[in-house]
Structure 1
Amino acid sequence: MKKAYIVLLLVLSLAIALALLNVFSPQRNIQEISDLKDSRVLKEKFFFLYENDPEFKKSVDRLRELLFNTLEEYNKTEAWILFNSILKKLGLPEVELGDFKYGRGGLIPSPEPPLKLKPCCENCVNLSRIVKAIVIPRRDLEGGNGLKALYVCAYKGDFYGYPISERIILEVTLVFSDEDSPSHDVEYDVWRLIAWGRVEDIETFFIVLDEETGEIEKVSFRGLVIKMADWPNERRISPIGSGGAAFVSAAHELTVFQDVEEPLIIYVNAWNHALSLKDNNVFLDKYFYSLENIEIRVGRRIDAENDYSMLKYSSQNVQSLP
């Protein structure tokens, strides 16, 4: 009887040891990290922890407070500690302080009330006559960063308080499934979930049309400003022209094209989805999105942000005409 009891204890001990080995094995950790490289899996886990783990939510909320409370100085060391606690909860490796480069980036105080926006002109233009295709390197598409949606808002008579006559201005916003930095993939996505409330990448540009003829006068890869709903801040959205940057680079160039060929072909040239009317990756295989295989919605940049982000925005503005 005693011998049988000892054997049973040995069997149970072995089973427990194997179970623990499976839970804490390097292979399992590597697999979990690999799974989190899928932005959808990472986003789901982040949202789940935010809703169900009070410590995780507390860390995220405090880090957002450090970022968005622009009336106080940004504490990089505290932000780094909080970021590592979030990474740890997600089962990801922590980062060294010297490698933590994240900060407020484009946030400025803005206590003024939000600008009241006029409705988009829904039947002013036929977008399929204006834009032929959005072209993306196939490696970016296969990496999970394909185009999810296109938002368009047409302005006639008035553009954010600027009177416009004999012109129609289109605000075009592209939503990509993700944006993968070559050097900081999963870590970069976690930061974007904190600072932007999303993993999707959102980019905006403008097209100016002659109202009478419908011809394109210019395409402007110019920035804009979006106002946060829950914080007295606005975010300065950088221009998204690619300049001469190729796919291995990132770019935020203010670029304006005139005397363009119609209909437009918009090239996604850089990994951060910087755009141009010129192809800077002539040797890369491409995927062409025609408007027939893009989900098109009437709306502005803040509509895209509010559809895809945990953070909310109340208004937007521009600093000049396109």
Structure 2
Amino acid sequence: MKKSHIVILLAVFIALALTLSTIFSPQKTTEEITDLKDSRKLKEKFLFLYENDAEFKRSVDRLRELLFNTLEEYNKTEAWILFNLILKKLGLPEIELEDFRYGRGGLVPSPEPPSKLKPCCENCVDLEGIIDSIVIPSKDLEDGNGLEALYVCAYKGDFYGYPLSGKIILEVTLVFSDEDSPSRDVEYDVWRLVAWGRIEDIETFFIVMNEETGKVEKISFRGLTIRMKDWPNERRISPIGSGGASYTSAAHELLIFEDGDGPLVIYVNTWNHALSLNDNNIFLEKHSYRLGDIKVHVGKRVDAENDYSVLKYSSQNVQSLP
């Protein structure tokens, strides 16, 4: 075969390979996503690959199966391998096994059918007379972790099977645009996209009121459980009180305040948005949100989860009164 023929065949082969690569590889029709430190862009690329890259989707689905199939033992090594495949597809550095500290985190089997949720009492309270403001460190807002929405559900007469006499309980859920870990934040965001199906951070607390006087009697930063729709398990949501922790820390304290005085000021004290009526960061500049500054919805924790997560939930419950 003549040399010129070989060159022509080689050129044809390369052109064919490039064509096939274009057809079968995920191609972004808009500007390429490069700044994955921006959580919104990271989420966009994650969802794009999940829809368009079969290997990426298989890796995410299998890792979620390891997490959510709580009837089987969690295989940490396989989870680590899958997580590294996901990181690599996103163009991020892989991690060592000893640095992989992610697991099921509060997921437990729950084969019983979900309980039916009572509707929220929509006109039971005037929320603006109860919550004055929610205060976060300004750095949180500057870093893209501001307060995005608030969900409130009022319970009258009954609270998850507990009879209420002369009390109204408010379930308040806050949605933050993101949650920044001080270390390995991009990796942490990828894990949350897998395990939680969202970038946003969602936190819930409870307010107990006297039905007759409208006076706040208790503020409880207590946890709850939410039941997954497509898996026979529930997530135990840890309490979100900050205790004495400050902004550089994380906290999940069971924190209860008796007799709230006047409209409440809720402080976000830690990077994972742990809450208190006390300001633990007195030297940090703050940003205050009034209710008119954010979207306020009538709804429960599962409503917030279903609005912001690609994973879906069918029910929720509590283990005690606030």
**TM-score w.r.t. length of structure 1:** 0.89
> Number of residue pairs matched?
291
In structure 2, distance between residues paired with 1:247 and 1:261: 25
1:169 aligns with: 169
2:307 aligns with: 307
Aligned Cα root-mean-square deviation (Å)? 0.9
2:65 aligns with: 65
1:294 positional shift: 1.2
1:261 positional shift: 1.7
2:214 aligns with: 214
Contact 1:32 1:91 in 2 (8 A): no
1:141 positional shift: 0.7
For residue 144 of structure 2, give the secondary structure of its aligned residue in structure 1: coil
1:134-175 Cα deviation digits (max 9, x unpaired): 000000110110001000000000000100010000000000
1:111-155 Cα deviation digits (max 9, x unpaired): 000010010000000000000000000001101100010000000
Amino acid at match of 1:114: P
Identity of aligned pairs, percent?
79
In structure 2, distance between residues paired with 1:78 and 1:312: 24
1:259 positional shift: 2.2
1:149 aligns with: 149
Contact 2:167 2:210 in 1 (8 A): yes
1:103 aligns with: 103
2:28 aligns with: none
5+ residue gaps, structure 1, are 1-30
Contact 1:122 1:154 in 2 (8 A): yes
In structure 1, distance between residues paired with 2:225 and 2:71: 19
Contact 1:146 1:177 in 2 (8 A): yes
Query: Which aligned segments of 4 or more residues in structure 1 are displaced greater than 2 angstroms?
Result: none
For residue 36 of structure 1, give the secondary structure of its aligned residue in structure 2: coil
2:267 aligns with: 267
2:179 aligns with: 179
1:82 aligns with: 82
Amino acid at match of 2:85: S
Contact 1:158 1:164 in 2 (8 A): yes
Aligned residue runs from structure 1 range 37-48, under 5 A: 37-48=37-48
5+ residue gaps, structure 2, are 1-31
For residue 212 of structure 1, give the secondary structure of its aligned residue in structure 2: coil
**TM-score w.r.t. length of structure 2:** 0.89
In structure 2, distance between residues paired with 1:173 and 1:71: 30
1:280-313 Cα deviation digits (max 9, x unpaired): 0000000000111011000000000000001000
1:224-251 Cα deviation digits (max 9, x unpaired): 0000000000000000000000000000
Amino acid at match of 1:168: I
Contact 2:33 2:45 in 1 (8 A): no
